[in-house]
Structure 1
Amino acid sequence: MASTNVAYQSVAIKYGILVGVAHIIYFVLMWIFGLLDVIELSFISGLFLVVGITVAISRFKRIRGGTLHYLQGLGIGATVGVVSSAILALFLMIFLSLFRTGYIENLQASALFPESLTKLSLFVITILYGTVPGLLIGFIAMQWFKREDHSTMPGRR
């Protein structure tokens, strides 16, 4: 039975936490394998955001019995992006303080971050690098999920 009183925020926060944990696991694996100096590899974790948002929108549409408003899908994308990137940003602050204080210099040396990078600016940039793509991914995903012929319910057309 479909539940029509489930808020999109609860689904988005759940998947945002899962994506945030996936970001942290990927970062720790990069650290273990000595790949933190290859800054470009960190952008591969953007795939976690794509998968997380797509699955969250699909799950919400299924919970709601196949009905999904366009702005709810955009909200799911943005919320998953904010939650996951905030979790990653908090982890990075702990990581920089306890384990690898020189990591910020590696980021400054790359062309992807400014030379004046501080912990606070890294925190803000990390959240922005998750939120803006989250909204864009939600927008792109909604081009598929808004269609009448797309159904997440088995046996429905």
Structure 2
Amino acid sequence: MTETQPSVSSVALKYGLMGAVVSVFYSAILLVAGVDISGWAGALGYIILIAFMVIAMKEYKSQNNGFMSYGQGLGIGTLVALAFGVLGGLFMFVYTSFIDTDYTSNLMDKQRIELEEKGMSDEQIEQAIAMGESFSSPVMMIVWSIVGSVFIGFLLSLIVSAVMKNKRPEFE
């Protein structure tokens, strides 16, 4: 009698979407409170990602008689991160396009001050700001959110999967 394995994608997307909603609420609270999301408070968002990776992998293992290969864990973690990236990017698009339309210009002003404090010339600052503005348009925020989340999620999944894997014995 053959057992059917649970779907990696269904478990990952279920917990990825739930975690992404939690992460969006966390980000919204930080933004409304005026907390810099590029600092330590924003980095705490990665704990949410890791937590939901672990929860998703535990759920997969419980549906699969306690077993999960390294590759399955890597897939689950990466898909969870993808859901975070998509919802996070869409949230930032809505936030910067409709709620706080000055967000990007305020970010560029802050960057300009930091570059001036580092002693960069006006020409260097203008080049850096122009490059920063091209990467921080609302559409590019979605793209970079997805790319960044998948990349970082993949790296985190390498570690989380290694810890959580429980390979099925060869001769069972």
Q: Same fold (TM over 0.5)?
A: yes
The 5 A counterparts of 1:41-80 are 41-80=41-80
The 5 A counterparts of 1:23-38 are 23-35=23-35, 37=36
User: Is 1:123 paired with 2:122?
Assistant: no
Aligned residue number for residue 117 of structure 2? none
Matched pairs, number:
144
Task: Kindly provide the amino acid, as one letter, of the partner of residue 42 in structure 1.
Answer: G
Mind listing any 5+ residue stretches in structure 1 that lack a counterpart? 149-157
SS of 1:66's partner is: coil
Task: Kindly provide the amino acid, as one letter, of the partner of residue 94 in structure 1.
Answer: V
Indicate conservation of the 8 Å contact 1:54/1:138, yes or no: no
Aligned residue number for residue 14 of structure 1? 14
Shift of residue 133, structure 1, vs aligned partner: 1.5
Mind listing any 5+ residue stretches in structure 2 that lack a counterpart? 115-128, 168-172
Task: Kindly provide the amino acid, as one letter, of the partner of residue 134 in structure 1.
Answer: G
Shift of residue 34, structure 1, vs aligned partner: 2.2
- Higher helix proportion: 2
Aligned residue number for residue 142 of structure 1? 161
Indicate conservation of the 8 Å contact 1:57/1:73, yes or no: yes
Indicate conservation of the 8 Å contact 2:73/2:161, yes or no: yes
Task: Kindly provide the amino acid, as one letter, of the partner of residue 50 in structure 1.
Answer: I
CA RMSD of aligned residues (A): 2.0
Structure 2 CA distance for aligned equivalents of residues 104 and 61 of structure 1: 42
Aligned residue number for residue 91 of structure 1? 91
SS of 1:49's partner is: helix
Shift of residue 53, structure 1, vs aligned partner: 0.5
After TM superposition, the score normalised by the length of structure 2 is: 0.75
